Homo-oligomer: A and B are copies of this chain.
Amino acid sequence: MHSKASYATASGLKESIRAARGEQKSQLVVRNIHWLDVFTGVFRQGSIAVHNGFIVGVVADEMAPDASGPYEGEVTVDGAGAYLVPGFIDSHVHIESSLMTPLRFQQAVLPCGTTAVIWDPHEIANVKGKSGIRWALDASEGLDLDVFVMVPSCVPSTTPAMGLETSGATLFAEDLREFVDHPRILGLAEMMNFPGLLFGDDDVTAKLLMYGKKRLDGHCPGLTGKDLNAYGVAGIHSCHESTSLGEAAEKLSKGIHVLIREGSCAKDADRLLPLINAYTSATVGLCSDDRNPADIAEGGHISCIIEKSLRLGQKPEDIFRAASWAPARMYGLRDRGAIAPGYRADFCLVAPKGHQSRSAGARVAAWTEGFEVKAVYKSGRQVDAEGLRRVASEAGDKGDQARDLLTQGKNLNLPLPTSQTFLVPARPGSQKSVKVRVIGVRPGQILTDHLQAECASDGLEILANPPMDILKISVLERHHGTGQVMTAFVKGFGLKSGAIATSINHDSHNVIVVGTTDELMARAVNNLCEIDGGIVVVAADGSSEALPLAIGGLMTNDEPAAVTEKLRGLKKLAEQCGCVLDEPFLQLSFLALPVIPALKITDKGLVDVSEFKIVSVQL
């Protein structure tokens, strides 16, 4: 699969050669286009011929004409002067963050021009361990979208021995051995535990050695100098976590390929795109990492980074090369990323956007106004959004049955809470007002502040203070039925009355809930348990909204449009409850990630991330 046009049979090879020589019609000819020659970095006017899913011929009008004339196709498409570029590759994505199954994800991204993705199924692996990875491989097999997989390297996010959280699974090096030879597995996913790597942690080292002949993806925000050298020495070949141009430039100069990310939360494209030029269009890739369905529907997928690049005035040759050929080379995907004979016929017809010229009154096309994807072809067939929808709707085996494979029971395995569940006990002898630690939410960031506040106490418990936006937040272990619950305080949601609960909760994906009263919090979690995972908002007036995520409490096989619509309903109700955050569910679901400073909450306790230790609520 990873070789340029490697054939299974002699007859297949001979047929492709005959089509290339024009001895028989090709199945498809696209003429009157400018195709991107990624090898020389120029657009060439001409045509291409496609047969059995591969490009069999390219013709550049400027070059010597073939005596035998143009290619004849069973189907001929007039490209109307459009630009034909290789299909885009998302070089690092967690499909789970789209809230969709791979079948629904392809329905959303293929029409945007993405024809291959490199998936780190880290979320489902945190919930379901090896079964989750097996499900990811199964659910992404044989799709129109080509899904390659990196094996999650850090499940859970913190070393289990630290005891900071309860995850659904723990994956040690030996657990990953069964995946190392899978043909669609390209290597080890983002090595977030870069301290473990640098300090020679044995399990991290064993994982690096086990996957050393494949690709080792990185994740090293802010790493620099000698430590960055050491990260590269270990064989790490990429990082998608640069947030400044200088950081990205240092990584690239050290052989760590930069993957420019534009997700729903983390948006780096504007800052990093200036890195791209003729040289680096061979060494820099693009990725989405975490992108929710609404953003894909409204802003596109990898296409949104290309759009930004073009609007910055960068050369289309460069950004389209970085979107396709560069990642294909980085990941050893030799059959794709170019418009040339023997390459997979994955391509997009694109055109610069236009404006009305004042003087001539005519429409003037300019890449600097962005671009539009006019048609997408995967393995030689035009992508048909309606057909993808139908396939996804009908495919029980990739949706509902996959759920059975995963669950062997419910997604949410916890005792149903009551309002008593969320009581925060006061230290014996406490005064009427006590000082507590408070998680300070920063809008639009996953970093938090480590705040303090005064809260009322009756001597037995500590009360929240909704008028001052000091709300209770609680994490309930949901994988093993331990009934373990931790409750503390948070500031920044701005809820006036109501509660939000979700089973998406990075990376261990326990249940997390925030609310103005213990009763509403209990109701929200009970509702969440009823739908067996997803996102729930309840208001004081009894109204509620819910997005069920049947697969692991993370994903659904529902229509992308329906998911987006439900997300909008949830958000609207949260706003009505007073929530001041633009992305309340995303922000809530990162409050339990104990590797991001400063103060986080897990089912085990309140975590001071700067010290990697559990601290008390009450000071």
Contacts and interface: CB of A to CB of B under 8 A. Distances in A.
A337 to B, nearest CB: 10
Nearest to A54: B233
A235 to B, nearest CB: 5
Interface in A572-602: none
B342 A17 contact: no
A10 B232 contact: no
B209 A10 contact: yes
B14 A205 contact: yes
A338 B66 contact: no
A234 interface: yes
Contacts of A10: 202, 205-206, 209
B235 A6 contact: yes
Contact of A253 (B6, B7, B16, B44): B44
Interface stretch (A158-166, A244-252, A472-480): A244-252
Interface stretch (A109-117, A276-284, A385-393): A276-284
Contact of A13 (B14, B209, B225): B209
A213 interface: yes
A5 interface: yes
A226 B58 contact: no
A52 to B, nearest CB: 10
A415 interface: no
B212 A255 contact: no
A243 to B, nearest CB: 15
A200 B11 CA distance: 9
A197 interface: yes
A201 to B, nearest CB: 10
A341 interface: yes
Interface residues of A, number: 83
Given A17-B197, A56-B233, A213-B6, A280 B226 contact: no
A617 B225 CA distance: 74
B40 A233 contact: no
Contacts of A229: 20-21, 49, 56-58, 341
Interface string A169-213: 000000000000000000000000000011010100110110011
Contact of A226 (B68, B235, B338): B68
A40 B205 contact: no
A237 interface: yes
A20 to B, nearest CB: 4
B39 A255 contact: yes
A21 B198 contact: yes
Nearest to A1: B213
A329 B329 contact: yes
Interface string A75-99: 0000000000000000000000000
A249 B60 CA distance: 11
Given A5-B235, A229-B56, A253-B39, A277 B278 contact: yes
Contacts of A49: 229
A3 interface: yes
A22 interface: yes
A422 interface: no
A362 interface: no
Contact of A17 (B17, B21, B37, B200): B200
Interface in A60-77: 60, 63-68, 71
Contacts of A54: 233
- 5 A-B pairs with least C-beta separation: A255-B340, A41-B279, A232-B341, A66-B225, A278-B278
Given A17-B234, A233-B342, 11 more contacts: A3-B213, A4-B235, A4-B255, A5-B235, A10-B205, A17-B233, A21-B227, A39-B280, A63-B250, A66-B225, A232-B342
